[in-house]
C-alpha cells in the first residue's frame, strides 16, 4: 500500500513515523500508510483516516473523536485509552487490536473484523 500523503502540518506521514502528541485535527489522511507508526496521544479529532493502513500502530490515548476510520486496517493496533467517541469504524479491521479502556460511546461499528480484540 502506498500513500500520496507525505506531510501534513509539518509532520511526516509514513510507515513507522513518530507522531506522538501530533496535532492532526481534521487532517485528510485518507489511504495513508502509517504501518507501525506511533500516534500515542495524537489529536486526530475529525481526521479522515478512511482506508488508512494503521496495522500495528500505537494510538494509545489518541483523540479520535468523530474520526472517519471506515475500512481502515487497524489489525494489531494499540488503542488503549483512546477516545473513539462518535468515530466511524464501519468495515474497519480490528483483528488483534487492543481497545482496553477506549471510549466507544456513539462509535459506528457495523461490518467490523474483530476477532481477538482486547477490550
pLDDT tens for each residue of the chain, 119 residues long: 444 568 888 999 999 999 999 999 999 999 999 999 999 999 999 999 999 999 999 999 999 999 999 999 999 999 999 999 999 999 999 999 999 999 999 998 888 777 666 65
Domain ranges within the chain, ordered by starting residue: 1-119
- Under DSSP, the state recorded for 98 is B
Residues 6 or more apart whose Cβ sits within 8 Å of residue 102: 79, 80, 81, 82, 83, 84, 119
What is the Cβ-side half-sphere exposure of residue 89, based on CA atoms within 13 angstroms?
27
Contact 118, 95 (CB under 8 A): no
Q: What is the pLDDT of residue 4?
A: 56
Architecture of domain 1-119: 3 Solenoid (2.160)
Q: What is the pLDDT of residue 119?
A: 58
Amino acid at each position: 500500500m502506498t500513500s500520496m500523503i507525505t506531510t501534513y502540518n509539518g509532520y511526516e506521514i509514513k510507515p513507522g513515523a513518530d507522531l506522538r502528541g501530533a496535532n492532526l485535527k481534521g487532517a485528510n489522511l485518507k489511504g495513508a500508510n502509517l504501518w507501525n507508526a506511533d500516534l500515542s496521544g495524537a489529536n486526530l479529532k475529525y481526521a479522515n483516516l478512511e482506508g488508512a493502513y494503521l496495522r500495528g500502530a500505537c494510538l494509545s490515548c489518541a483523540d479520535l473523536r468523530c474520526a472517519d476510520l471506515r475500512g481502515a486496517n487497524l489489525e494489531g493496533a494499540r488503542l488503549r485509552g483512546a477516545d473513539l467517541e462518535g468515530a466511524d469504524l464501519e468495515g474497519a479491521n480490528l483483528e488483534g487490536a487492543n481497545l482496553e479502556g477506549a471510549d466507544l460511546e456513539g462509535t459506528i461499528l457495523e461490518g467490523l473484523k474483530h476477532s481477538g480484540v482486547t477490550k
